[in-house]
Structure 1
Amino acid sequence: MNFAYTMQKFQDWFTQQWIIIWGRKLNPKDINWLMGPFGEMEGIGENFIQELAQSEDLEILRNCQSVGLLNSMDLLKLPQEDLTRLSKGVIQFYENTSEYGFKFKVNWNLSFKIFGILINKLFSQRINQLNIPSSQPADSQEISSELIQLIDKHSKEVNYTIWLRKLKSSGQIIYSGIYGICEIPSGTICIKAVFPLPKGNATIILKPKVGEKGELILQSIGKKFGDPGFYFLLSDSKNSIWSLYHSSFSDELMIHEKNQKLYAIQTLRLWNFRVVTFQYEIENR
């Protein structure tokens, strides 16, 4: 039987061992569409950016201007009729994400709120990653948003685009994710978000579609390995790679334009029960 690294926090070891028991051992060459950077045991946050740049000899560009999560919406290869219908404001946002500011509200399902508090206490606050607020203020909270690029020192090509988001009130990191696209085994082009964790990562594969009113809908919903959805990956004590696909988790993000402003609603579900909903106001600054 394979084992996770032992010289780490028990809760990290336990969750990694759970992935080994219930997941599958993989050859990274066979899952290029899924692979992404892994974190180290000392924590994630902004330290991870420095560590990744050093390990791959990359240059860090911070506070990038006129940079988007996507270089072009055309990369998603949406049907032409969908691309024509898609809101121009939404296209502008994904191609120039660095120029936008955010406010958001969190609305927990009370049945799952204690689960969110435990995750924050045991993992998120310590590793500075996936730190979803458990409180629900009446007013929207402002988020600072920074796009960071890691580029090849010689070719100047972009290897990674990292989206770092913090609560402005406290400076606490909410998400530090690496964004790009991938082609899943079915041939569908999806948006991929990789969130480094100790000795592994959480990866979300989101399938895009365009709604009737020009809104962009991203869904991480699937039934089996290779579908859109939630994946956990890790490297064990022998550097073997393991992955666990969670069909019980789903994420849907809908972003639309109204009165020259953008709004988004994101809903996380577990076994089709709503866990938490985020409401975003997005404004070009």
Structure 2
Amino acid sequence: MVIHFRSMFGAFLRWLINAWLYVTGKVVPYKGNEWLRGPMSDTEVIGGQFYERYAADRGLVIDKDHKDGLIGDFAALIPATDPLKDKLHPRVRHFYEHTTQYKLEVWSQWYSPISFFSRILIKSVSTRMDQLNIPLDPLETSRGMTNDVLQLKDPATGALVCACWLRRSILSGRVVYAGFYSGVIIDGSPLVKVAFPLPNGNVTVLLRVVVQPDGSVKLISRGRGIGDAGYYRVQKRDADSVRLRYLPLKESIHVYEDEHGTLRTDHLFSFWRFKFLHLHYKIMPV
């Protein structure tokens, strides 16, 4: 009975979100906004097999023999105007360019009051989609998290189109993140693009890379509007355009080496000015 109610409630929430996007979203054409093209699912469940369907539909090849990183050249995504670009820590760069050579441990901490609504959304919607199952309790990731990267390449040139980062909770087996990573240039500014496929749409996050004085890096999604760093909820419309909302959800990802030489990440989420989630990663060589 409880499972049935949760399924019905989840379906209602999905309908409510899609109706809200339809009514309040802005129609944006792909022309002039090619960065908006991204993975969208035609099924209700995303899971860990979506990458293969996406690659097959677009004529891309999955490089299973060459396990490597999320970004081919991470330094290229740092703005030339950043005065600290030359201080980029080599281990931070190595992690992004050779991600599969590391293993991850993660802890989560939620903050009220927004955490209450986030938990409802995750339990009712994310679990059914098998996508964005952000850990609700630190013990959910007590056995660690998987770290699988699949590079999708152009079969004609061998060029890297995007890298798919699949992270599961080893304890529950649920997909925490199934994201597509790439670099984009918008109005001359380099940004990290992360797209998380959802049924009939996706979540697209644009992150600005900022080098810190100690050589660590912050990836920040704080921007001013469409085409700038930020958090976008994208809904499928037609072959030429999408409907989207630019949301007041902000992320800050700080990748650094601590005083003991261990690579770590502090990943903070906030809605408006209210912090609601802190994920802390310990990143260790395999």
Common fold by TM > 0.5: yes
Residue pairs, 1:151-166, within 5 angstroms: 151-166=153-168
CA distance in 2, matches of 1:239, 1:176: 25
Q: Is the 8 A contact 1:200 1:235 kept in 2?
A: yes
Partner of 2:252: 252
Which one of the candidate residues 119, 127, 130 is aligned to 1:128? 130
State the percentage of identical aligned residues. 28
Q: Is the 8 A contact 1:165 1:173 kept in 2?
A: yes
CA spacing shift, 1:120–1:64, aligned 2, 3 Å: farther
Partner of 2:191: 190
Residue pairs, 1:1-285, within 5 angstroms: 9-62=11-64, 64-65=66-67, 67-79=68-80, 81-137=83-139, 140-185=142-187, 187-236=188-237, 240-246=241-247, 248-258=248-258, 259-285=260-286
Query: Which letter does structure 1 place at the counterpart of 2:212?
Result: G
Q: Is the 8 A contact 1:113 1:134 kept in 2?
A: no
The worse-fitting range, judged by mean Cα deviation, of 160-169 and 109-118 is 109-118
Unaligned runs of 5+ in 2: 1-9
Q: Is the 8 A contact 1:181 1:191 kept in 2?
A: yes
TM-score, structure 2 length as denominator?
A: 0.88
CA distance in 1, matches of 2:131, 2:241: 24
- Per the TM alignment, residue 254 of structure 1 is displaced from its structure 2 partner at its CA by 0.5
Query: Which letter does structure 2 place at the counterpart of 1:38?
Result: M
CA distance in 1, matches of 2:114, 2:250: 15
Corresponding residue SS for 2:69: coil
The worse-fitting range, judged by mean Cα deviation, of 18-27 and 130-139 is 130-139
Provide, for residues 138-194 of structure 1, a one-character-per-residue CA deviation record: whole Å limited to 9, x for no partner.
985511100012233343333321000011122211000000111233x22111100
- Per the TM alignment, residue 77 of structure 1 is displaced from its structure 2 partner at its CA by 4.0
- Per the TM alignment, residue 10 of structure 1 is displaced from its structure 2 partner at its CA by 4.1
CA distance in 2, matches of 1:232, 1:244: 5
Query: Which letter does structure 2 place at the counterpart of 1:191?
Result: V
- Per the TM alignment, residue 116 of structure 1 is displaced from its structure 2 partner at its CA by 2.2
Query: Which letter does structure 2 place at the counterpart of 1:152?
Result: D
Partner of 1:3: none
Q: Is the 8 A contact 1:103 1:143 kept in 2?
A: yes
Query: Which letter does structure 2 place at the counterpart of 1:210?
Result: V
The worse-fitting range, judged by mean Cα deviation, of 230-239 and 106-115 is 230-239
TM-score, structure 1 length as denominator?
A: 0.89
Provide, for residues 192-227 of structure 1, a one-character-per-residue CA deviation record: whole Å limited to 9, x for no partner.
100000011000101111111111011101232222
CA distance in 2, matches of 1:56, 1:118: 35
CA distance in 1, matches of 2:94, 2:177: 22
CA distance in 2, matches of 1:209, 1:202: 22
Corresponding residue SS for 1:123: helix
CA distance in 2, matches of 1:261, 1:110: 30
